């Protein structure tokens, strides 16, 4: 199940947010070795963890966070525009209907196809919910085929470069009903992945 947390309901979920920052520490600091954003030795946080962020969090049957991605408006200074504009050919996309996706991850134990497909489905479902036409981001280049196999339509926006010793590329993912249908076909379910009855302000 997927829980959406933003500034309108973040006060209701201190435990989920704490787990999310700890999980990011385990994945991005411990596993991937990103030391720059380590906080208090147990969290991973950066300047985009603020009121403008939307957290899309994978919750297991015990109610614990097991994965997440973060959406951030591209109209505001964001990671691609501030840190990696050189990875984008031409100008960085900045539109009200395009958000940036960062920190997509699952806990080591949750890394299997079902949980992954559910989080990928959330990209399309939450994107449609927010009225987005696309999301931009950085990915490992060799991750593209799996995302295509899941049903996402994804295009490079620059030539890949080596980061952390691997080929990484800036991309834009189209948000469409068709993508969501393809992903749902692969998941074997058309049911929404989103947790219902959340006290969340309508924003679209």
Partner 1 sequence: MASSKGKHFQIALDAIERIEAQRSADDLNTAVKHSIATFGYQNHCFVLPRSLAMPALRERKLLMSWPQAWFRQYDRWAKDDAVATAFRSRRSSFRWSDLDIRATASLRVMEMASDDFDMKKGFGIPIFGLDALEAGVSFSGPDLDETDEANFAVELIGIYAFNHYTKLRTAERKPSLTPRQREMMKWVAAGKTAWDISVIMSVSQDTVNKTLAAAMRNLEVVTRAQAIAEALRRREIEF
Q: Residue with structure tokens 């990875």?
A: 87
Q: Which is nearer to partner 1, 146 or 198 (CB)?
A: 146
Shortest reach from residue 66's CB to partner 1, in Å: 18
User: Alpha-carbon distance 59 to 127, whole Å?
Assistant: 19
What does residue 102 show for φ and ψ, rounded to 5 degrees?
-135, 165
Shortest reach from residue 27's CB to partner 1, in Å: 17
Cβ contact 46:37 at 8 Å: yes
Q: Which is nearer to partner 1, 134 or 158 (CB)?
A: 158
Shortest reach from residue 173's CB to partner 1, in Å: 14
Q: Residue with structure tokens 């299997």?
A: 112
Which two three-digit tokens encode residue 176?
Answer: 């469409």
User: Alpha-carbon distance 63 to 59, whole Å?
Assistant: 6
Q: Which is nearer to partner 1, 14 or 90 (CB)?
A: 90
User: Please, is 191 exposed, middle or buried when counting C-beta atoms within 10 Å of its C-beta (0-12, 13-18, 19+)?
Assistant: exposed
Q: Residue with structure tokens 């030795």?
A: 41
Cβ contact 55:104 at 8 Å: no
Task: List contacts with partner 1 (CB under 8 A).
Answer: 89, 112-113, 116-117, 141-146, 148-150, 156, 158-162, 166-167, 169, 185-186, 188-189
Shortest reach from residue 70's CB to partner 1, in Å: 23
Shortest reach from residue 189's CB to partner 1, in Å: 7
Shortest reach from residue 118's CB to partner 1, in Å: 13
User: Alpha-carbon distance 1 to 45, whole Å?
Assistant: 24
Q: Which is nearer to partner 1, 69 or 116 (CB)?
A: 116
Q: Which is nearer to partner 1, 15 or 111 (CB)?
A: 111
Nearest-CA neighbor of 70 among 84, 51, 56?
Answer: 56
Q: Which is nearer to partner 1, 164 or 202 (CB)?
A: 164
């Amino acid at each position: 199940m997927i829980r959406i947390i933003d500034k309108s309901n973040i006060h209701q979920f201190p435990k989920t947010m704490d787990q999310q920052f700890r999980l990011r520490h385990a994945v991005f600091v411990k596993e991937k070795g990103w030391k720059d954003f380590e906080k208090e030795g147990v969290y991973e946080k950066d300047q985009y963890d603020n009121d403008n962020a939307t957290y899309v969090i994978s919750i297991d049957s015990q109610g614990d966070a097991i994965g997440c991605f973060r959406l951030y408006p591209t109209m505001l200074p964001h990671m691609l525009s501030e840190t990696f504009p050189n990875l984008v050919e031409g100008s960085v996309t900045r539109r009200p209907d395009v958000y940036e996706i960062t920190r997509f991850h699952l806990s080591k134990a949750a890394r299997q196809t079902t949980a992954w497909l559910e989080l990928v489905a959330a990209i399309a479902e939450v994107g449609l919910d927010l009225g987005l036409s696309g999301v931009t981001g950085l990915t490992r280049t060799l991750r593209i085929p799996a995302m295509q196999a899941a049903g996402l339509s994804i295009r490079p926006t620059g030539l890949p470069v080596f980061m952390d010793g691997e080929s990484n590329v800036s991309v834009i993912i189209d948000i469409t009903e068709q993508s969501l249908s393809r992903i749902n076909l692969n998941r074997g379910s058309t049911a929404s992945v989103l947790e219902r009855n959340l006290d969340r302000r309508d924003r679209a």
